[in-house]
Chains A and B, each alone.
Chain A
Amino acid sequence: MLLDKEFSTRNLINDASKIAQLVASVVCTRFLKNPARAWQVVPLLGDVGTIGDRWLAGQIAALVDTVQSRVRNSFAIKVGATTKNLTELAYEGAPIEGLLTQHEADGLRPGRTLLPRSVRGTGSRWQDVLTALGNSERIDVDNAPDLFDWQDDDLGAQAGTRSDRRAAR
């Protein structure tokens, strides 16, 4: 085994990169085949808790960053018959989650597809992941009042619903 030391060293240095590549590959496959369960697999820096070994904590943070970077570049998710990457998606912030339609998202973030609810999974991790990955457009509560300036014709079939929501504010 000692005779293989140099060979081993050369390969071991790339282990973190290989691990990141493997994980990112699994994550991206899961986003295409079972997206609701993919969010939980994306590591987040916010989850890196207190580790006594600071050096190891730094390595783990670097690994998380590498995985996210690879997922960011390869992310694809099926929306209907099409496949969308991060730059084509929009999503709501937690306070207005579930309140927007694609029609409204079109007005607030033209050209972006609202992430379908069916692929979001449970909880709010999907929002944390999209925020961490970046490139997608977040629609926050600050943007929502713009909808109140729309005419009823702009709102289409949602006009009544929107008026009801406005009245409820």
Chain B
Amino acid sequence: MPVAIAIPDHVGDDMASLYAGLPVALAPGLTFHANAQFDVDVARQGIQHEELNK
């Protein structure tokens, strides 16, 4: 399964996010965006609390 990260070259105010193809959840504290095939909730506003998403 594809996994991707995006790391900024400059310090900015953008907050990192988790993606499952499209943005799913903000991830404050990370210094990068991360995309994976997370199991998202129905509203696509978060990821499911399950082993699959660890």
A and B found bound together:
yes
Taking Cβ atoms with an 8 Å cutoff, the residues of A that contact B are 8-9, 11-13, 15-16, 18-19, 22-23, 26, 37, 40-45, 47-51, 53, 55-56, 59-64
Q: Assess A15 versus B37: contact at CB under 8 Å? Given A22-B5, A59-B53, A59-B54.
A: yes
Size of B's binding interface in residues, CB under 8 A: 28
Taking Cβ atoms with an 8 Å cutoff, the residues of B that contact A are 1, 3, 5, 7-11, 25-32, 34, 36-39, 46-47, 49, 51-54
Find chain A residues with CB under 8 A from B30 CB: 43, 60, 63-64
Q: In the bound complex, how far is the Cα of B11 from the Cα of A8, in angstroms?
A: 35
Q: In the bound complex, how far is the Cα of B27 from the Cα of A50, in angstroms?
A: 10
Are A56 and B25 interface neighbours, CB within 8 A?
Answer: yes
Q: Closest B residue to A21 by CB, please name it.
A: B3
Interface of A is mostly: helix
Q: Assess A23 versus B11: contact at CB under 8 Å? Given A8-B37, A56-B46.
A: no
Are A49 and B46 interface neighbours, CB within 8 A?
Answer: no
Find chain B residues with CB under 8 A from A15 CB: 1, 3, 36-38, 53
Q: Closest B residue to A25 by CB, please name it.
A: B5
